[in-house]
Each structure stands twice: as structure tokens, then as C-alpha cells.
Amino acid sequence: MIRPHGSDFLIPLMVENPQHHAALQAEALDLTRLIINSAAAANTVMLGAGYFTPLKGFMNKADALSVATDMHTADGLFWPVPVMNLTENGDRITAGSRIALCDPNVPGNPVIAIQEVAAVEKLSTEEVNLIVQQVYGTTDQTHPGVATFGSLGKFVVSGPVEVLNFSYFETEFPETFRTAEQIRTQIQACGWKTVVAFQTRNPMHRAHEELCKMASEAVNADGVLIHMLLGQLKPGDIPAEVRDAAIRKMVELYFPSNSVMIAGYGFDMLYAGPREAVLHALFRQNAGCTHLIVGRDHAGVGDFYGAFDAQTIFDEAVPAGALEIEIFRADHTAYSKKLNRVVMMRDAPDHQKDDFVLLSGTRVREMLAAGEDLPLEFARPEVAGILMDHYARETAEVA
């Protein structure tokens, strides 16, 4: 199986030993409590689940700035996006102490991890802007990722963590949330050697379905991992439980049996375009996948990134050998009226725009909200029905 990133073995930071877990829970009662933000909680879950192998905890300022500027930590580990515990007030926290990190996304703010504080450092406004510009490619506050980062605080609390739970992900998505180790175990149980990962924060329409099949055939894959983000999204995106139901129905009806693994991971969407695409590749390698589909405007938002910037970054900024996972580069995929099938647009050079069935995300949402059927060439009817029910419930709640 493909090696994890930067290590010969996976390094999940979840405390599995029952006695040690109980001891940490008891210790937490006497520690300074820090209610972290959702971004730090998501980072904690990813550290606990092994997706962020080989990191042992949160980065310090030097590592964060180094990662932002040239995608390496200060000691040379390739990493595309800073992994930080940022807070608005670091006055109560001192280097050398141990603190209880408390979950902002669960009622009562239970302890999600114990952190050993290596340092507490403050980012200057210039350093915040540098990180934002390098990671997101813009400082425009209308970019949801930029706006979120700017709200997290300027104090960097670095140091190793011991994770006690996976926040709300295990309880709310028991059939879907999986750690990197669990996915690796399932891949081995299936006997798969070549595995293509598909990242999604949206429901999957016909084009996504066919793209997975095209990529699988192109690399002669043994199976496909449909790996959905379960964390926080921007307003207007489809909730995770609706996406989960729609994807499961599509796989049940339209993929060969035992050819697809459905799983989810506990991370908040960054909308960081190219940098996030590299991060997606890294943690899919940690999950045991050999290939990641990177499509048009992967992890993008609005018009902040070029259509294929998330592909060219692997040529222009990722050093050779930095990642073992391979990238399957996809073009925009749509149903061809001429050919009566879904194709990648680059494979149909004789087509004009009107030769494809194309619907914008806005138009799709309008049709679903109005109870209109989506074209069969665009969406499987069973998937469209699940989405239509969601929009009908939303409309009824507003009314």
C-alpha cells in the first residue's frame, strides 16, 4: 500500500488506550480551558484521525509562515497549508503549560484534546496578510476562507496534542465518518491496490458520477473512494446529511457493487483552491489512495482562481517526490447532446457550448427550490428527488 506522507506508518493522535484516556479526562478538570474555534477543532479531528500524518500537533509561527511562503515547515517537511490553533486572547496561556482544548461545535463545549503548549506567539497584521495572500491567493474579505481566517485571532498556540474524541462527526455520521486508518484497513480488506479518490463538498450529479468511472478506467483502479467533507461550509451549500443520502443512493443504483467506498472526514472547507487541492492530495495519500481526481476549479469559490490552477500547482509548486499520490487531471465534464453520453469537454473539440447540457449551480438551486425536475442528462432522478425534498423542507421552514 502507498506510504503515508513523510512517514513509514500512519500517526493518528487519537488516544486509544482506555486508562490513558481516562487519566487525560481527569487531568483536564484541573487545566486551563480554551474554547477553540471551529477551524482549530477541525484541525484537531484531522490530527486525531491520522489524515495530517506526520504532524504531532499545531504549528508555531515560524512553521506557519514557512508553510505559507514555500510549502515547507522550517525543518523541511512538505506541507501546503498552515495547521494552527489560533485564538483571540493568549494572555491566559503560557509556554510549558498543558491546556484543555474545548469543542465549540458540541453543546457544553466538552474537551476534545489536551495540548502541551510549546509557545504562544502573536501574528502581526502584516504576517496575517502574508499567510492569507499566500494560502488563498487574495486578501479580499468577500472570499469565505479569507473572512474566516481573519476572524480566528492572532495568537498562535503551538505544540503537540493528544486527541480525546472526534467532535460531532462520529455521532452525527456514524455510517460515514472514517479515520485514515479505517479507510486503509478497508482498502486492504477489499484487496484493492490502485484506488482513486474523489473529493466532494457537493451532491454528485451525472457528470461527477461519470468522472469517477472515467478516472477509474483510465488508471485501471480496483476501486473508488468517494470522500465527502462533513464539516463547516459557507451559507447556501448543501448540508452534509443531504449530500450523504444523495451520494449513497447514486452509488447503490448506478455503480457496480463493491467498486466504491463511501466515507467522510471531519474538516471545515477552506475554499483555498490550489493550496487546498494539494492538501486534499496529501491526506488522501495518508488514507491509502494512489490517485486523486483534481477537476476544474477544485476547492475554489467564485472567480478567485483560474479553472485549472488546482492542477498546475502540482507542476509549478510541488517538488518532485514530495507526494507519492498521483493526480488524475479532469476537464469540465457534461452530457453531450451529440454523443448522448457524458464526456470531458476537452475530448469533444467539435462541440459548441449549446451541444452540452450545462446548468449553473444557481440555476440548479432555483429549479430544486421551485420543485422543477432536473434534466435526466444532468442528474439521476433518485438523486434529484432527495435534493428536491431538502429544498422543499427549507422553503416550508422559511414560510
The residues carrying an active-site annotation are 201-202
Q: Grid coordinates standing for 115?
A: 495540548
Cell 452530457 identifies what position? 335
Which residues, 6+ apart, have CB-to-CB distance to 264 below 8 Å? 169, 173, 176, 177, 178, 227, 228, 229, 230, 240, 244
To 10 degrees, what angle do helices 381-398 and 240-254 make?
A: 160
C-alpha span between 42 and 228 (Å, rounded) = 14
Nearest 10 degrees: Cα torsion 270, 273, 278, 282: 30
Q: Which long-range contacts (CB under 8 A, 24 or more apart) does 173-178 make?
A: 173/230, 173/240, 173/241, 173/244, 173/264, 176/228, 176/230, 176/244, 176/262, 176/263, 176/264, 177/230, 177/263, 177/264, 177/265, 177/266, 178/263, 178/264, 178/265
Cell 492542477 identifies what position? 311
Q: What are phi and psi of 133, to 5 degrees?
A: -60, -40
C-alpha span between 166 and 169 (Å, rounded) = 6
C-alpha span between 210 and 95 (Å, rounded) = 52
From edge to edge, which strands make up the β-sheet containing 333-336? Answer: 341-344, 333-336, 356-357
C-alpha span between 282 and 34 (Å, rounded) = 29
- DSSP 3-state of 300: coil
Paired sense of beta strands 341-344 and 333-336, if any:
antiparallel
Cell 487525560 identifies what position? 24
- DSSP 3-state of 303: coil
How many residues are given for the chain?
399
The H or E element containing residue 278 is helix 274-286
